[in-house]
Amino acid sequence: MKETLIELEQFLELREFIPILDARSEGEFEQGHIPGATNLPILNNEERKIVGTIYKQLGNQEAILKGFELVGPRFHAIIQDALILFPEKKIMTYCWRGGMRSEIMSWLLSMAGFQILRLKGGYKTYRTLTYETVRAKRDFIVLGGKTGVGKTVLLHGLKKMGESVIDLEDLAKHKGSSFGGIGQPTQPSIEHFENLLAEEFFKIPISEKIWIENESRRIGKVNLADELYANIIASPLIEIIKSEPERISHIAEEYAVLPQNELLEAVKRLQKKLGGKRTSEALEDIIEHRHSSWIANMLVYYDKTYGYELDSHKRDQTFQLDLTNTDLEESIQHLLAIKNNIQWKTQLSD
């Protein structure tokens, strides 16, 4: 069956109904891919490296010949894998620029009776879109507050109420502190994090106000784009206040159940900042399951860090909201009331 070349807009519309095959190498796929795609390489990591070297040294024709020499014996296996992965025999496919690798994949699977829609411009055109989307100006409402005030819980509550929400920590698979990676899956690359973030932005009209948590520039190993970070720290901030016992209780619910050895390692990573005495006390408290004690110990450090960051970024509009002993439903209503009082400099929908 003959392939059909399609533009990115149509590709994004159809992916809800048609599976996607990424024909690039495993390494390229891991670095960043179109969410939902399945990786079935024409050239694997080592083969791609070999072909690339020959291209640089001997030129395009020799590289093509070497590519077919390497992949030819695997044509049968690729078709078999594709039949298992895509039994309905209809797929969309792409490579880096929408060129030779996806063309070969399209030709090969077409010979096996597949209906192929191939992305014009390949992953590169998708990545250009996500790169620009993440850096575009948006109207954010930023939830701030010291560690343990429950900002993520509030974000989820706002989302249930139909508000537009971006959860950066969930996308980054990290909670943003020395303890933030415990119990989390492997973090995406910065490139793929931006792809995932852009996908969330795709769902939200440009005119919508978006709730987002106040984050550092770095979330674990993921860095926020400079433009996005500048946008966040310039946006209206609602600083959540809760009592220390409530904060300690909230943190204990999340962290006391985590593996003890990983908690100990997280404290050790902070030793230079905590000092020897405070570090020793926290380690002993974790071993003895005195969770309220070691959490209170950590809050001394994290509260100072929060205060420094808050003072470093002065905003035009900052609101303080004391939610001590306030349930989630009432808390959400208070947040929505503040949203209605925010003065926006420009309307992005104009």
CB-CB contact of 255 with 147 (8 Å): no
Tokens found for residue 338: 């503040």
- Token look-up 């404290």 returns 267
The answer to whether 154 and 240 are in contact (CB under 8 A) is yes
Question: Known catalytic residue: 95?
Answer: yes
**Residue 221 to residue 133: CA distance in whole angstroms:** 21
Outline where 59-189 has alpha helix (H): 60-71, 75-85, 100-111, 122-135, 151-160, 168-172
Active site residue: 51, 54, 95, 274, which one? 95
Q: Which two tokens stand for residue 291?
A: 């969770």
Beta bridge partners of 93: 21, 118
- Cα separations in angstroms, 290 against 271, 283, 285, 296: 19, 10, 5, 10
Q: Please give the positions annotated as active site.
A: 95
